[in-house]
Structure 1
C-alpha cells in the first residue's frame, strides 16, 4: 500500500512539474496549441515522427494571420516568429538581446560544442573575431583540402572521413532520449554529452594533422593552417558582449586557445562542409533533373565561361557563372539545409507592437523552410525559377525571408566559402554530365523525420548521370 501511495505521489509530482510552465503564452495573449504534459507541443519530434523543421513548418501554416506563435518544447516556452519585420529585429536590430543560439546549457558546455556555431556570448564573439580570417579563402580553397588529409571519400565508402560525417548526423532513439532529458531536466542533465561518441575521434584527428605538420603552418593555406595560426597568436582579447562595468562600458574578455577549442572548430567546420553543402548541391541537381530547360541554360553558361578560361575551372571562372549562382540560390530556397534558425533571449525583451514581453531563456525560432516557400514572398513557390535571384528582379524586402545562411552578426561566416565550393562542384559535374531523375524516384525528396538542425532526406536523392557528348 505504501509503495502504491509513493507511486501515485511521484506521478502527481511529475504531472505538476511537467506542466508548470504551460500558462506562459496564455498569460501573454500569444496563440499556441494546447501542450501535452512533459512533452509540450513536441511529442511527434520526440517520437521521431516529424523533424523539428516539419513541426515548425506545420505551426507556421496553422496560424497564417499571427505574427508570432507560442510553442513548448517539453517545458521550455519558445516563440515561432512569422513576421519578417520582427525577424529583422531578432537577428539584427536588437541583436544585443538575442546573441545566443540557445543550443547549450549556459554554465556547462561539452568540448565539441565550444565552437563558433554552438557557443554564444563572449566565447562566440572572441572566436569570431579571430576566425573571421576565413575571409582569405578565395582562389586557394577550390584546389585545397580543408583538413590537409586525403579523405578519398568518393572512392572509399568506408573512409574515416565518411564514417565521421555519418556519425555526426546520426540521430537515433538514444540521441533523442538524451536530448529530451536535457530539455526536461536541464540542471540535472547539464553534463550529459550529445557528441561524446565522436569526441575522442575528432580530437585524435586534430592531433594527427598537427603532428604531420610539426605544429607549424604549411603552404596549403587551408583551415588547419588557420587553426595553427589561431593558437600561435595566443590569448584572444576583446570587448565583452555579456559584462559591463559600473559606467556601462564593456569589460575586457579573454579566451585561451587550447587543443580542445581547436578540435571544436575543426568539428563544426567539417560538419558544415560534409552535410550542408552536399545537401544543397544535391537539391539543386534534383531540381535541374526535373527542369531540363533550366539545366540547358546552366550548361550553356558553364560551357561559355569555361571556353573563355581555357576549360580551367578556376575561381575567376566560377565568379562569372551568374546564372549558375541564381540556380543554386533557388535550390537553397526550395530546401534550405537549415530548416530553422534559433536565438535565445538573454534578458527581458518587449515586443512593443505586440504588447507583451519574453523572459531570459526563451528560445525564438525562425521557420526558414516555411518562409522561403510562402507565396506571399515567393509567388508560385513550387516552381523552380532561378530568375527570382536576378538582382534586377529580386525583392529587396525578402532579405529577412530568404535565410539559408542566416543574417545579422551571427550569419554563417562560411557563406562565401560554402557558396564557392558548391558552385565549383556543380560546374564540374554539369560541364561533363547531363542529370535526369532516376526511374521510380519521388519528385520531391522524402524528408527524414529524425532530422535535426540540418535537414536530411530518406534514402538520398537518386539521379541518373549521363556523359555529355558535346557542349551546348
Structure 2
C-alpha cells in the first residue's frame, strides 16, 4: 500500500509539473504572437543542447520558416521566453534606433567570483556606458596607425615561420599558424609583452589563450543555461572561465602593472590607457579587477576571432584558386604603387582584400547570434505586440548573412557581394560580424587591421591548396561558442 501511495504521489507531481510547463510555454500563445512550438525543458534549443545542430543552423531554420510572416517569432531558451527577429527593419530598430530599450546583451558574467568575466562585452547599463567612453580613445584611426609598425615587425617574423612550414612540405593546421601571429600581436599591443608565439608554439600565452575556447569550463548548452538564468547562476557562484585561465591572466596583468608603475614605463598601447585609468583619483578611476577584465577580453577576443576569421579565409582561398590568385596579384600591384613597402596607406588601399575578409565574415560570422535584453516594455512598431521587460532578443546573424534575398547565391564564396555597387542600398544590419549600433565591437578597427596584415604577409609569396585531411564540405562545430570547423582546416603551402 505504501509503495502505491508513493507511486501515485510521484505520478501526481509529474502530472502537475507537466501542466505547469505547458502553461509556462504559453507565454507567446497568450500574446497571440507567432511562435515556434517548444519541447519540454529544452524549449527551442533541443537540437543545440543535444549537439544535433549549432545555434546558427538551429535559428536559421526558424528564421526561414517565419521570415515575411511577422517581424519576430516567439521561442524559448529552455524555459525563458525569447524573441527571434526575422525582419531587418526590426533588427535595425533594436540595434540602433531604439537602442535605449535594448542596451544590454543579457549575457552571463560574475564580477564577484569570476572577475575576468565582467568585461566590456558583458557589462550592463550605466557601468557599460561609462567604461565604453573611457576605453574608446584607444581605438581611433590615429591609434591604429601608431600600432601599425609594431604589427608589421611581427609580420616579418611571421613570414619566416611560414617559410619553415613551406620547407617541411607538411599538412598545415592553418588556425594554429594564424593564432601564433594574432597572439603575438595582441600580446605586444595590449600588454607590451613579447609572447614569443610566432617562433614558439609552446609559449604559455599561446597555449592558455587557445585553451579558453578549445577547452572551456562548460559545454555550450551549459553556457546558454547560464545566459538564460544569469541571476541564479551568479547566486550559486557559477564561473565562466577555468581557474587556470583566470590565474594566468591575473598573474600576467599584476606583474605588468607592477613593473610599469615601479619603473615609470610608458608605451602607446592598451595597457597604458588602463593603467592611467587605474591610477586616477577622480570619477574616471577603475579598479584593478576592472582593469584585469578589460585586458583579458581584449586579448581573448582579439586573437581568437581574428585567427578564426583567417582560417576560414584561407580555406576559401585554397578552395577557390582563381580568387586566391586575384588577391595575390592585387596585393603585389598595390605594394608596387606604394614603393614596395607595406605601409598603413598601402594596406588601406587594398580594397579587394577587404571584400575577401568581409565575405569570409559573412559566411562564417565568429558569433552566430547576437543577444540583447529588453530593458523595458517595447511596443513592436507596426504591430500590437509588446516585448516585455526581461525578454531576451536573438538576432540571427548567421541566418541573415546567408539569406538569398539579401545575398544572391549565399553559399558561394563571392567577394563581389561586397563590391561598392552591391553594397549600395543594402541595410547595414544585413552584415553583423561586429554587431551594430552603440554596442558595435569596440575593437573592430584593430581586428580588421591585424587580419589584413596577416593576409598580406601569408599570401603575397605563398600558394595554398586543400589537404585531404580537411573535411569537405566543411562542417561547423555543434558545441562551440565561436564558429569553428569540425576537425580543423588543414592546408598545403608552397613558396612561390
Q: Same fold (TM over 0.5)?
A: yes
User: For the Cα contact (< 8 Å) 2:109–2:117, is it kept in 1?
Assistant: no
- The answer to whether the aligner puts 1:229 opposite 2:276 as a matched pair is yes
2:250–2:292 Cα contact (<8 Å) kept:
yes
Within 5 A, what are the aligned runs for 1:113-152? 113-136=117-140, 137-142=143-148, 143=150, 145-146=188-189, 147-152=191-196
Q: CA deviation at 1:441?
A: 2.6
Q: CA RMSD in A?
A: 2.5
Aligned to 1:155: 199
d(CA) in 1 for partners of 2:325 and 2:100?
Answer: 47
Aligned with residue 303 of structure 1, among 332, 352, 366 = 332
Counterpart-to-counterpart distance in 2, 1:188 and 1:374: 37
Give the C-alpha shift of residue 63 in structure 1.
Answer: 2.4
Deviations 1:273-305 (A, max 9, x none): 121111111111111112222112211121122
Instruction: For 1:408 and 1:110, locate their aligned partners in 2 and report how far apart those are by CA, in whole Å.
Output: 28
> What is the CA distance between 1:102 and its match in structure 2?
0.6
Aligned to 1:337: 366
1:116-173 deviation line (CA, Å, top 9, x unaligned): 1011101110011010012243123231522222222233333222222233214669
Q: Give the secondary structure class of the aligned counterpart of 1:214.
A: helix
- Partner Cα distance (1:357, 1:281) in 2: 41
Aligned to 1:436: 465
- Aligned twin of 2:77: 73
CA apart distance, 1:187: 4.4
SS at match of 2:438: coil
Q: Please report the TM-score for the alignment, with normalisation by the length of structure 2.
A: 0.84
2:493 maps to what in 1?
Answer: 465
> Which residue in the other structure is 1:166 paired with?
210
Corresponding residue SS for 2:48: helix
1:320-399 equivalent positions in 2, closer than 5 A: 320-399=349-428
Q: Check the 8 A contact 2:75/2:82 in 1, yes or no.
A: yes
Displaced runs of 4+ in structure 1, greater than 6 A?
105-109
- Secondary structure of the residue aligned to 1:392 is helix
1:456 counterpart residue number:
484
- Is 1:94 the counterpart of 2:98 in the alignment? yes
| Aligned counterpart for 1:41 among listed residues 29, 41, 44 | 44
Gaps of 5+ in 1: 238-255
CA contact (8 A) 1:89 1:95 kept: yes
SS of the residue 1:434 aligns to? strand
Instruction: Give the equivalent residue in structure 2 for 1:252.
Output: none
**Which residue number corresponds to residue 243 of structure 1?**
none
Q: Please state whether the residue corresponding to 1:260 is helix, strand or coil.
A: helix
In the alignment, is the contact (CA less than 8 A) between 1:138 and 1:315 conserved in 2? Answer: no
Q: More displaced, 206-215 or 322-331?
A: 206-215
Number of corresponding residues: 449
Question: In the alignment, what sits opposite 2:239?
Answer: 193
Q: 1:50 aligns with which of 50, 53, 57?
A: 53
| Greater relative contact order, per chain length (Cα 8 Å cut-off, separation 6+) | 2
